[in-house]
Chain A
Amino acid sequence: MIPREEIAMTEQNHLEAAAVEPGEKNTRRAFLVAAGTAGLAYTAALAYPIYRYLASPEEMAMNAAAVTEVTLKDAQTLPLGSVLMFKFGSSPALLIHHEDGRWISMTAVCTHLGCTVQYEPQADRIHCACHGGVYNAYTGANVSGPPPKPLKLFKVAVNQADVKVSRV
């Protein structure tokens, strides 16, 4: 539909441009507005599927991030003083079984520039290797280095067969 109209209109425009009379200015303006609108609509119709196609993984990640609880099978057997890395939604998270028996879980994404942090059992702290940020391994509080904010804690429920980690 659109192309044929546009060809016809283009020719019309061509003729008008050849002999512009004051009375025809309105038709010409109306044509330009109509052609411009049709062109924009056409471009949008082409661009929209491409945008949605390229944005698909982002949408998938957002859906994954919408989860509120993760079940970690057999994680209750995690030895004292060790850590389990797992994915909460689409981003990495830590589950720490401290020497004193406490279970702590928090996001593993550094609040500074997004590196993945690591639990250091000897120092009993959380360290980010990228820029030397240090967090408290019990509260997630930013202790030293560049991180501006603490790491977010998750709620931990230890069961017979698994550990459930959920958003607070």
Chain B
Amino acid sequence: MTAKTIYEWVDERLGLSELIAFARHKTVPIHSQSFWYYWGGLSLFFFMVQCVTGVLLLVYYRPGAEAYESVRQITFVMHFGWLIRSIHAWSASLMIFSIMVHMFSVFFMKAYRKPREFGWFSGMALLGLAVTFGFSGYLLPMDELSYFATKVGLEIPASISWVGPFIANMVRGGPEISEFTVQRFFALHVVVLPAIFLPLLGFHLWLIQRHGNAAPPSIEALPPAERKSEPFVPDFMRKDLAMWLIALNILALLAAVFPWSLGKPYDALAPAPLGIHPEWYFMSPFEMLKLIGAVLPGMIGELGGILLFTVGVVLWFLIPFYDTSQELGKRARIANYFGLLVIIGLLATTAIGYWSVR
């Protein structure tokens, strides 16, 4: 049997030709801002790194009362365990960073406009899940830092009146962070979140395959003869893979040169260590709540902060319904200003946050 007859045999039964035609259907526009097209693929790459290193950590990690001891073992006893754990932690940060870059590039290229609204919605949901991955994974080593980060993080929903304490207690598995908390965060981190994330990611990728990459409005406005594009398979894919290789090297370098540390085991009676602060991607909302709390003291400040933050996220989420027209009209300009405001707000609050804990 030749390769051709084997291919035909399988094709007849599984319809490979249709799949290949579907894969070849997508083209990528070529223009001065094509660089931003890599960031979705990079997010995907870091997610795949998370899957591989996550499974490797799962081989020795034990949730519950032994959590800290098992992470200590991974970090200091198992060969290269420190490296795998460092890669998992670094790749988590880089994944969220890539998703953010991807999101803002989509925002300013106005790639959320018709017919790509679902790409925007599913992307936002994926970012929300990625951040939840980060929050739940942070507790798993059960050292001092993860204990206090989770404690503070859960105080935010707990401050919502009436339902807040109920929600916080359900998430925590009791009024205090304990081995019950780490056990349920573990279930969330390795079963529940992947089970939601993976199909959503499949949907997101399918949409991109279906609609192709969006070009910014300035390029869309050009006559078709002046627009250039290349097929995704194999031309752009090859560049994507080269980017992944670069990303892998940077990741390996970061993990090897700046390995993730493991603090003292958590102790419910120990005071919070000095200079404790949330991960960089939580710094901005954390600082915003603090700033609003300073203006509006007490319960009202906390509630106002949460409310303001929620309204901002909802507006951001609903932008495809506001900025709909294909031209660069007034609404498009307002959306651009909104995007700039969000970027400046995020950068400024993050900087203030790091300044105040320095």
- Chain A min CB distance to B41 (Å): 15
**Does any Cβ of B come within 8 Å of A2's Cβ?**
yes
- Map CB proximity to A onto B232-259 as digits: 1 under 8 Å, 0 otherwise: 0000001100100110010000000000
Contact B242 A53 (CB under 8 A): no
**Does any Cβ of B come within 8 Å of A54's Cβ?**
yes
Contact B79 A53 (CB under 8 A): yes
**Does any Cβ of A come within 8 Å of B78's Cβ?**
yes
**Does any Cβ of B come within 8 Å of A19's Cβ?**
no
Question: Which has the most chain B C-beta neighbours within 10 Å: A6, A50, A55?
Answer: A50
**Does any Cβ of A come within 8 Å of B3's Cβ?**
no
- Map CB proximity to A onto B70-101 as digits: 1 under 8 Å, 0 otherwise: 00000001111101100000000000000000
Label chain B's interface by main secondary structure. Answer: helix
* Interface size range on B against A: 10 to 19
Closest-by-CB residue of A relative to B244 is A3
**Does any Cβ of B come within 8 Å of A7's Cβ?**
yes
- Chain B min CB distance to A118 (Å): 30
**Does any Cβ of B come within 8 Å of A131's Cβ?**
no
Closest-by-CB residue of A relative to B243 is A3
- Map CB proximity to B onto A108-138 as digits: 1 under 8 Å, 0 otherwise: 0000000000000000000000000000000
Contact A3 B246 (CB under 8 A): yes
Contact B79 A49 (CB under 8 A): yes
Contact B245 A2 (CB under 8 A): yes
Contact B84 A53 (CB under 8 A): yes
Contact B56 A2 (CB under 8 A): no
Contact B80 A49 (CB under 8 A): yes
Q: Which residues of A contact B238 (CB under 8 A)?
A: 10
Evaluate whether A50 and B56 lie within 8 angstroms (CB atoms) in the complex, with A3-B242, A56-B77, A56-B79 already known.
Answer: yes
Contact B83 A49 (CB under 8 A): yes
**Does any Cβ of B come within 8 Å of A52's Cβ?**
yes
- Chain A min CB distance to B86 (Å): 11
> Which residue of B59, B80, B242, B245 is within 8 Å of A52 (Cβ)?
B80
Q: Roughly how many angstroms separate A20 CA and B3 CA in the complex, as a whole number?
A: 25
Evaluate whether A2 and B80 lie within 8 angstroms (CB atoms) in the complex, with A50-B56, A53-B56 already known.
Answer: no
Contact B249 A3 (CB under 8 A): yes
Contact A55 B79 (CB under 8 A): yes
Q: Which residues of A contact B80 (CB under 8 A)?
A: 49-50, 52-53
Evaluate whether A2 and B79 lie within 8 angstroms (CB atoms) in the complex, with A7-B242, A10-B238, A50-B56 already known.
Answer: no
- Chain B min CB distance to A104 (Å): 36
Q: Which residues of B contact A2 (CB under 8 A)?
A: 245, 249
Q: Which residues of A contact B245 (CB under 8 A)?
A: 2-3, 6
Interface residues in A44-60 by Cβ distance below 8 A to B read 49-50, 52-57, 59-60
Q: Roughly how many angstroms separate A52 CA and B245 CA in the complex, as a whole number?
A: 23
Contact A6 B242 (CB under 8 A): yes
Q: Roughly how many angstroms separate A4 CA and B249 CA in the complex, as a whole number?
A: 11
- Map CB proximity to A onto B46-78 as digits: 1 under 8 Å, 0 otherwise: 000000000010010000000000000000011
- Map CB proximity to B onto A25-69 as digits: 1 under 8 Å, 0 otherwise: 000000000000000000000000110111111011000000000
4 extra interchain contacts, Cβ-Cβ under 8 A, other than A6-B245, A54-B59?
A10-B238, A10-B242, A53-B81, A55-B79
Q: What are 5 contact pairs spanning A and B, CB under 8 A? A: A49-B83, A50-B80, A53-B78, A53-B81, A56-B77
Query: Which A residues have a C-beta under 8 Å from some C-beta of B?
Result: 2-4, 6-7, 10, 49-50, 52-57, 59-60
Which 5 interchain pairs have the tightest Cβ spacing?
A49-B80, A52-B79, A3-B245, A56-B78, A7-B242
